[in-house]
Homo-oligomer: A and B are copies of this chain.
Amino acid sequence: MRETYGIGRVEAFSDGVIAVAITLLVLDLRVPQSADGGSLAGRLAALWPNYLAYVISFLAIGIMWINHHAALRRLKAVDHAVLVVNLLLLLCIVALPFTTSLFASYLTAKNGGQLAAVIYAGSFFVTSFVFVAMQWLIVVRRRSLLHDPPGRRRQRAILLRGAIACPVYVVAALLGLATPYLTLAVCIALGLFYLLPIRSTE
């Protein structure tokens, strides 16, 4: 028999990791050194990519937390496989402050902006992909662990809602090859989309 665990500590640990990761984004809002040339206003204004990236990544990780929350509460218990996939998902989420920082640092640089944009969108693609894999594991392969196993149609709706982000991030990455500003625009649009209320038909 497969050993299972209660979900209380999985939620607590995941909440902790995501909470720290989202808060570490603030470390990239740097205070300009007073020794630097120019007025403070000018130097702060030059940091606009950092502020924008902070907001986008904060909302993106926040939305992932909301979805993670929704995914786990379907479960009565977790087994080793769910724990491992959840760990991989957290591994991806924790790396997002790094790719955000990279994107913010190179958005307005002469070189490297395209690559940084591709890595930024790519990191969100991988994270979304692992999230969909976890959803699939939960609603398709671990039906016995669910409070209320969904039917075929419902399964597909759950997977689709998560999966929709994947191709969008691929597009965002590809557009980044042209200019990182397009990547930025797509990521902002996607964030706004997810912030909208869900008309649930459940």
Interface set of A (CB-CB < 8 Å, partner B): 1-3, 5-6, 9, 11-13, 15-27, 29, 31, 34, 39-41, 44, 54-55, 58-59, 62-63, 65-66, 69-70, 73, 79-81, 83-84, 87, 90-91, 94-95, 97-98, 101-102, 105-106, 109, 111-112, 115-116, 119, 195, 197-198, 200, 202
Contacts and interface: CB of A to CB of B under 8 A. Distances in A.
A12 B11 contact: yes
Contact of A9 (B11, B63, B109): B11
A6 B73 CA distance: 9
* Pairs A-B, 5 closest by C-beta atoms: A16-B19, A40-B112, A20-B23, A29-B98, A62-B87
A202 B3 contact: yes
A81 B198 CA distance: 9
A54 B20 CA distance: 16
Given A87-B59, A198-B80, A23 B12 contact: no
B40 A111 contact: yes
Contact of A105 (B25, B31, B95, B119): B31
Residue among A9, A11, A102, A115 with most chain B CB within 10 A? A9
22 contacts: A1-B202, A2-B197, A2-B200, A3-B202, A9-B69, A13-B18, A13-B69, A21-B26, A26-B98, A29-B98, A31-B101, A34-B109, A40-B115, A41-B112, A44-B119, A55-B91, A58-B87, A58-B91, A59-B91, A62-B91, A66-B80, A84-B195
